[in-house]
A and B are shown apart, each in its own frame.
Chain A
């Protein structure tokens, strides 16, 4: 079976006519590609073809089961070229960059503003080759893999990121190279009331090993235009990771932080990690979020070489009426690969979370070992958490398991702690924090872990009774 055949839509998908892309897009995109750098044209064209095939999301889209498509559809037109506050008009001050740094990567960080790489604000560290796609010397195989991902994309929003990202940042680690420190990607979003599209490409050559830390923040004095206030902004960030034989990547991402609490209530965040793993390569991803008006975290991982291993973890703490939706597709295309997923959400108030995760095992991918667990902790009767774990298995000699739980705290654990003298409120706080800390603990970089703790655990502590103040975490 060829890989293209595998990509055919699963049988359960409804075969209804899909809405096409808008006439404005149909007209604007070929022009945009033709006027852009020649070196980007093939990738953009592949993404455009995929977009035309998929069409824009609609209310029946399988990929958006738990999201009201109408919430973000108005943002999917061609990016507004004329928006006055486009990228570059507002740069982060030194102090703003400083505030986003973490101990492990104080000397190795890249600044992106609405997806555009700013070398003058960055310190690339050593061991990473930094470029942009129009200038990068990307190995032929990596370029082919990138084109494949672009052409196979079934997520229209991800296709838009590939088409409209200005000149995508390319990070490469050479064969056998192990950079001494992680590289921190600082995404600054101007939140100018329009959609910003970003594509970041990571290529880890044979036996390379690296850590990427990712932070997002909204610039303080942005999002003040009437347009931004009225509609909110949409951040559309896609990261593509191409891992050659034996390469290893840790990808640790913290959701929005920094200045704009008010912008979070307005803004839409679409983030995607698309990865292709060759033989014996390894990917560990940890993504921790506190949501926004609408946040969608998508993971698409192809295990394309035998012995490849992917571990994808997500932690979400939601308060107010924020939303966060995780969407995961893991495809075991060859034998002897391992994938593990752990997604945990804490939902308070009227917040909404969902995890829609599918493990696909191709016919010849024998000896696959795949595991998926979704745990939701509900702190309020009005909160909502949806889970849709799915296995699509075409091979007959595999070990696959999945599970999903939603509920309140475990009374046995609570009794255990109380029987040791902890007051009920303190026991509950400790267990709630522990629930989410299990995922955060997988981000084994101390300084970055502290960022995640501040973002997620402080959100929780503010929600929990005063007893939580004495609770720290290991």
Chain B
């Protein structure tokens, strides 16, 4: 079956938000196929449905899928809860990571890591072993020890929050990472570090979907395929030259 070649397959995906009298159709028939080993970039104007697509794939309860399927390695995941999807290997890097006062960052990472290990039938990591793993990842991302003491994202700058997302990704080592505007709010130095973290995840068994407004990120993380999403549909697909073109000409020529 051809399907198995793809890590992620989104077929004719329609999704809405809201209830009864106030239903808004946001996704209007998305088709997207990502092979293992590939990096796809999704660009598009504000309000085109990019964040919605990422949340629907991750299992956000606010959205209703009215039509279509999402397959991960050939398995339909739309019936699964968000946590089950995560343990299957889906990671969503949030555009706006929430602050969770009172929940220690390192402690949370260990709990998430151990849930993943449990799902894989492995033993939970003891705190010391986990600390080693965490320290190594934090070093790569140039994060200092204070991150461990702090509550999740609490009082973090925009750039710190994004770095923390990449740290979580590095710890969970997902099969499919969907990064929603992980590059916005970063200065060039931070961008290089974050891009380095993303590139480390690249590999034969992994797929990455980058949602971005800016071509700049794609200088550091070279995409295999670039899509333009507009009005809830993918209106153009190309290689990295498409991103350059969009950067130069805007979206108007693609959206009539």
Contact = CB atoms under 8 A, between A and B. Distances in A.
Nearest 9 Cβ contacts at the A-B interface: A434-B102, A474-B104, A421-B86, A420-B112, A421-B115, A438-B102, A418-B82, A418-B83, A437-B102
B102 A420 contact: no
11 contacts: A416-B94, A419-B58, A419-B82, A419-B83, A419-B94, A421-B86, A421-B87, A421-B116, A422-B112, A430-B111, A473-B107
A448 B172 CA distance: 35
A421 B83 contact: yes
Given A422-B83, A424-B83, A438-B101, A417 B92 contact: no
Contacts of B152: 416
Interface residues of A, number: 30
Contacts of A389: none
B173 to A, nearest CB: 12
Given A424-B81, A431-B100, A417 B108 contact: yes
A415 B149 CA distance: 22
Given A413-B100, A419-B86, A423-B115, 11 more contacts: A415-B61, A416-B94, A417-B108, A420-B86, A420-B115, A421-B115, A430-B103, A431-B103, A434-B100, A437-B102, A438-B101
Contacts, number: 86
B59 interface: yes
Interface string B180-191: 000000000000
A416 B100 contact: yes
Contacts of B103: 417, 430-431, 434, 474
B244 to A, nearest CB: 32
B149 A474 contact: yes
A420 B82 CA distance: 8
B61 A473 contact: no
A23 interface: no
Nearest to A439: B102
A415 B107 contact: no
Given A421-B116, A472-B107, A473-B104, A416 B98 contact: yes
B97 A434 contact: no
A435 interface: yes
B254 interface: no
Contacts of A435: 102
Interface string A417-461: 111111110110011011111100100000000000000000000
